[in-house]
Amino acid sequence: MSEPIRVLVTGAAGQIAYSLLYSIGNGSVFGKDQPIILVLLDITPMMGVLDGVLMELQDCALPLLKDVIATDKEDVAFKDLDVAILVGSMPRREGMERKDLLKANVKIFKSQGAALDKYAKKSVKVIVVGNPANTNCLTASKSAPSIPKENFSCLTRLDHNRAKAQIALKLGVTANDVKNVIIWGNHSSTQYPDVNHAKVKLQGKEVGVYEALKDDSWLKGEFVTQRGAAVIKARKLSSAMSAAKAICDHVRDIWFGTPEGEFVSMGVISDGNSYGVPDDLLYSFPVVIKNKTWKFVEGLPINDFSREKMDLTAKELTEEKESAFEFLSSA
């Protein structure tokens, strides 16, 4: 057995965490021979609920869980971390402007970034899920100058998985038969799901998704619309099971690497990209991962429709960043 790794989940009393924690504890993220010390952080009013989650995790009798620590204190939560999964954020309340949401979250992620900087290992991998995820991730990274900015990523894997699943449903195959879809940009309504480079296995042959679908109006319409809103409308709650599954996929790929010939989408720092996206944005790109290090997928041809969509989401991220940084200097 290897040494235990310390994994933090914030917002640990929430919906997504409830679906996520068991998967982390049972070895399906870090492997079946990797013991784990699981740290659960939430706000003080949620500590009662968090105790219930702690009891349930104990009752799962998971052999890999060496310890579970529930806390509302950042200095306890962020100590010596190997992985931090930041799920907790201020949710959007009715009648709340995106700017107000941004301001509340800058405060949270500035504080958590500073705690990472002060207490976590310098090699910590940080995954931000709480929305607005891209800008929250950038805020945390800026607040943790001693941790390499490449160690920070935000979740666009749910959008990536949704895109794969939608295509698979449309073509009557399984999601596993679809690969290399791309989510470009912000985890928001401006994100651009791109199938121009995606492949699908049909009758044992690999073909381009675009050619296989032959349905431009669906691709530019229904396919791009917000699936998340549809889930909320139906369940009266936001996506939790699918979000937790996407987090597991994202973190497992960081840990073990991406399969040969396959790339995934994640929000990463844009510095040095070859796609004309401005530097210093936390933007979702196609990446491959090896030895716990991601690299941009280079050299994909970008058509005019894609270019326009990619620029639009970059513009939104630049505006969000500017607002966030105003708050950051005053927070």
* Tens of pLDDT, residue by residue, the chain (331 residues): 799 999 999 999 999 999 999 999 999 999 999 999 999 999 999 999 999 999 999 999 999 999 999 999 999 999 999 999 999 999 877 777 777 889 999 999 999 999 999 999 999 999 999 999 999 999 999 999 999 999 999 999 999 999 999 999 999 999 999 999 999 999 988 999 999 999 999 999 999 999 999 998 888 888 866 677 788 888 888 889 999 999 999 999 999 999 999 999 999 999 999 999 999 999 999 999 999 999 999 999 999 999 999 999 999 999 999 999 998 887 5
Confirm if 22 and 58 have CB atoms less than 8 A apart: no
- As a whole number of angstroms, the distance between CA 222 and CA 145 comes to 41
Q: What is the pLDDT of residues 195-221, one digit of tens each?
A: 999 999 999 999 999 999 999 888 888
Give me 162's structure tokens. 């949704």
Question: For the stretch 249-261, what's the b/e string if a residue is b when 16 or more beta carbons lie within 10 angstroms of its beta carbon?
Answer: bbbbbbbeebeee
pLDDT digits (tens, 9 = 90+) for 20-29: 999 999 999 9
Residue 185 phi/psi, 5° resolution? 95, -135
- 187 among known catalytic residues: yes
H or E element that contains 305: helix 304-330
Q: How does DSSP assign 107-171, residue by residue?
A: HHHHHHHHHHHHHS-TT-EEEE-SSSHHHHHHHHHHT-TTS-GGGEEE--HHHHHHHHHHHHHHH
Place of tokens 């620590």: 69
Rounded Cα–Cα distance for residues 161 and 225 (Å):
14
Check 160, 187, 197, 250 and give the catalytic one.
187
What kind and span of H or E run contains 286? strand 282-290
